[in-house]
């Protein structure tokens, strides 16, 4: 009898795995919540009360035109009054700019580090220390880096950008060196046998072969940083996070709701654009790695 | 001594010993083919000559000196060709041609006109002119092999090592590609070592070797076959 049951599970490995995972997860969960499961009973009712009394309808005044010193360096008088001075627009655009700059800097710094950290290109004595640095940068979440930078350079966009850049370097670097190490060995072997130097191999083989991955990761990091930027803003006092924290403190939840909906759509648009860009690169890439060739070749 | 490649008491392999080569000498301009079962150590032998793997023991010399990284000396065509799939035919052939110009030019993209000319010539010899800007992934198997040869032609090496690069091709295309290769090698007096599983083609070489497992041992050795 027991043997039959054991045999049944032995033959169905995936089913056994899924059941074991579920049972284990459930047991740990029960242990974690420690007899407080009854709290779930009224949860939906609580949510609906909170939603209809405090969150809905969203207060779109966060996007209403207002008189504000948008350009702090040279403010004309009288101060401009239009949509671009609204709290929602300033918050979201600041967050987007921060994410853009942090992703850009992060990519530029992480790529050379990732190349040095790839064990199919460089020996362990070079790759391992660089990997340690990258994982060090990754260990602390951007939020903690932001606290460090707020102490160092004070509140503002700069601390947010630096924090997100550091985290991006650690995160992107890992993704990049894994992509590079996953490349086919043959093209690298052929180039190495020809006697090309490592820097030539990087430019002629590694970058073109991994370009799709690199771009895909870059776009992913940008999306991630936009979301992350909202949280960083709470600590750094910038971007949409600043306004979110402000409204949460003042219990203006309808405004928070409006900002969250706007952020949701912004992220949706970014997702859509990045899918388009990604599919363009994955399907039709031809990388011509010569500069003058194009002009002198003649067709 | 006119030996291009010479090996004596060479032991090759990764962690385990794969093959022992007692004596292997190749003269300049000679065409050598190596046949043998898969997994017996043929590719490892080619990679050792190409200086991609260090020999475990013994002596290996290329043009009378120890194998070292010398720009453009050896052209290596791996079994899967080693082409950069997302780059164009031109870029791939250019990879071979840059061997004759300084590293800074190769990296910066400021190529000499001579280099670009060599790329054009190689592409024309291999009849790939219409495909110049196509990415490798859009070419057929036969065309990809011709790109690999064009890359080697543009490199102008003294030794070519080719690893079963005719496999996966239908007989007609393979014969065509193989003849292209032989004509070029003979004309330029280049040493060619090719690993091939089709014994008929392998016999077209000047000398043919077979890699066989040593009796009661776990390693193999090279045995010359009369052609």
Residue A64 domain-assigned (yes or no): no
Please list the residues that pair with B75 across neighbouring strands. Answer: B160
Q: Which residues of B touch A285 (CB under 8 A)?
A: 86, 135
Res A202: pLDDT: 93
Average pLDDT rounded to a whole number, residues A116-135: 93
DSSP code of residue A205: I
Assess if residue B66 is contained within a domain. Answer: yes
Query: What is d(CA A274, CA A283) in angstroms, rounded to the nearest whole number?
Result: 14
What's the CATH code of the domain at A230?
1.10.3720.10
Question: How large is the average pLDDT for residues A120-130?
Answer: 93
**Same structural domain, A30 and A167:** no
Mean pLDDT for A166-177 is 93
Which residues have C-beta within 8 Å of that of residue B117, sequence separation ≥ 6? none
Enumerate the β-bridge partners of residue A231. Answer: none
Whether the pLDDT of residue A169 is over 70: the answer is: yes
pLDDT tens, B126-148? 888 899 998 898 898 888 988 99
Range of the domain at B34: 1-70+191-227
Residue A294 has pLDDT above 50, yes or no: no
Instruction: Tell me which of A188, A192, A195 to substitute to probe the interface with B (most B C-beta atoms closer than 10 Å).
Output: A195
Question: Number of folded domains in chain B?
Answer: 1
Two tokens, residue A139: 């260990």
CATH of the domain at B5: 3.40.50.300
> B1 in contact with A at a CB cutoff of 8 Å?
no
B165 domain-assigned: no
A129 and A211: one domain? yes
Are both A119 and A232 inside the same structural domain? Answer: yes
In a domain, B113, yes or no: no
Query: Chain centroid to CA B162: how far?
Result: 3
Domain coverage including residue A183: 81-296
Binning pLDDT at 50, 70 and 90, where does residue A299 land?
Answer: very low
Q: Work out the angle between the directed axes of helices B141-155 and B89-97 (0-180°, nearest 10).
A: 30
State the total domains in chain A: 2
Residues in CB range of A290: below 8 A, 6 or more apart? B90, B91, B94, B109, B111, B116
A119 plus A223 within the same structural domain: yes
Count the Cβ atoms, other than its own, within 10 Å of residue A34.
7
State which residue of chain B sits closest to A289, comparing Cα positions: B91
DSSP states of A56-84: SS--GGGGS-EE--SSSSS--SSPPEEGG
DSSP bridge partners of B209 = B34, B224
Residue A132 Cα distances to A104, A141, B111, B145, angstroms:
22, 16, 38, 41
**Residues A287, A190: one domain?**
yes
ipTM associated with this complex: 0.90
B54 contact A CB<8A = no
Mean pLDDT of chain B: 88
pLDDT number for residue A143: 84
- pLDDT, mean of residues B84-104: 91
The answer to whether residue B109 neighbours chain A at the CB level (below 8 Å) is yes
The answer to which of B3-12, B44-53, B64-73 has the lowest mean pLDDT is B64-73
Check residue A74 and give its pLDDT.
Answer: 54
* Residue B164, in any domain of the structure: no
What's the pLDDT at A22?
96
Q: What is the mean pLDDT of residues A173-202?
A: 92
What pLDDT is recorded for position B167? 77
Question: How many angstroms separate the CA atoms of A269 and B5, rounded?
Answer: 61
């Amino acid at each position: 009898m027991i043997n039959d049951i054991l045999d049944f599970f032995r033959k169905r490995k995936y089913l056994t795995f899924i059941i074991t995972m579920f049972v284990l997860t459930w047991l740990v969960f029960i242990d974690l919540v420690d007899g407080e499961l009854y709290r779930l009973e009224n949860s939906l009712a609580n949510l609906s009360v909170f939603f209809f009394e405090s969150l809905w309808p969203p207060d779109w005044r966060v996007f209403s035109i207002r008189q504000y010193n948008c350009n702090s360096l040279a403010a004309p008088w009288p101060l401009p009054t239009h949509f671009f001075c609204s709290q929602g627009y300033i918050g979201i655009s600041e967050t987007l700019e921060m994410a853009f700059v942090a992703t850009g800097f992060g990519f530029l710094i992480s790529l050379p580090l990732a190349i040095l950290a790839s064990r199919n290109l460089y020996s362990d004595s070079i790759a391992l220390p660089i990997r340690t640095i990258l994982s060090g940068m990754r260990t602390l979440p951007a939020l903690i880096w932001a606290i460090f930078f707020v102490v160092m350079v004070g509140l503002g966009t700069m601390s947010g950008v630096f924090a997100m850049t550091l985290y991006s370097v650690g995160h992107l670097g890992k993704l990049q060196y894994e992509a590079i190490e996953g490349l086919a060995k043959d093209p690298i072997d052929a180039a190495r046998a020809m006697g090309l130097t490592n820097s030539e191999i990087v430019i002629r083989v590694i970058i073109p072969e991994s370009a799709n991955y690199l771009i895909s990761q870059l776009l992913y990091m940008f999306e991630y940083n936009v979301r992350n930027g909202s949280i960083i803003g709470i600590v750094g006092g910038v971007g949409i996070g600043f306004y979110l924290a402000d409204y949460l403190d003042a219990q203006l939840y309808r405004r928070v709701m409006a900002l969250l909906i706007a952020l949701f759509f912004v992220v949706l648009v970014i997702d859509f654009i990045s899918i388009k860009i990604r599919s363009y690169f994955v399907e039709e890439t031809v990388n011509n790695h010569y500069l003058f060739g194009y002009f002198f070749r003649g067709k | 001594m006119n030996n291009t490649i010479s090996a004596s008491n060479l032991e090759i392999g990764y962690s385990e010993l794969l093959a022992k080569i007692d004596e292997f000498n190749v003269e300049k301009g000679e065409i050598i083919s190596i046949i043998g079962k898969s997994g017996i150590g043929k590719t490892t032998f080619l990679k050792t000559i190409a200086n991609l793997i260090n020999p475990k023991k013994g002596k290996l010399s290329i043009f009378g000196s120890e194998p070292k990284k010398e720009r453009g000396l050896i052209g290596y065509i791996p079994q899967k060709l080693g082409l950069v799939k997302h780059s164009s035919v031109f870029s791939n052939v250019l990879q071979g041609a840059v061997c004759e110009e300084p590293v800074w030019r190769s990296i910066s993209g400021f190529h000499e006109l001579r280099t670009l000319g060599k790329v054009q010539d190689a592409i024309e010899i291999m009849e790939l002119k219409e495909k110049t800007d196509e990415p490798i992934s859009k070419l057929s198997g036969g065309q990809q092999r011709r790109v690999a040869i064009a890359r080697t032609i543009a490199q102008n090496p003294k030794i070519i090592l080719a690893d079963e690069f005719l496999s996966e091709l239908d007989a007609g295309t393979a014969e065509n590609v193989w003849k292209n290769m032989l004509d070029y090698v003979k004309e330029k007096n280049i040493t060619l070592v090719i690993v091939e599983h089709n014994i008929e083609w392998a016999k077209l070489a000047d000398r043919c070797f077979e890699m066989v497992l040593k009796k009661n041992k776990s390693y193999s050795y090279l045995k010359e076959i009369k052609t």
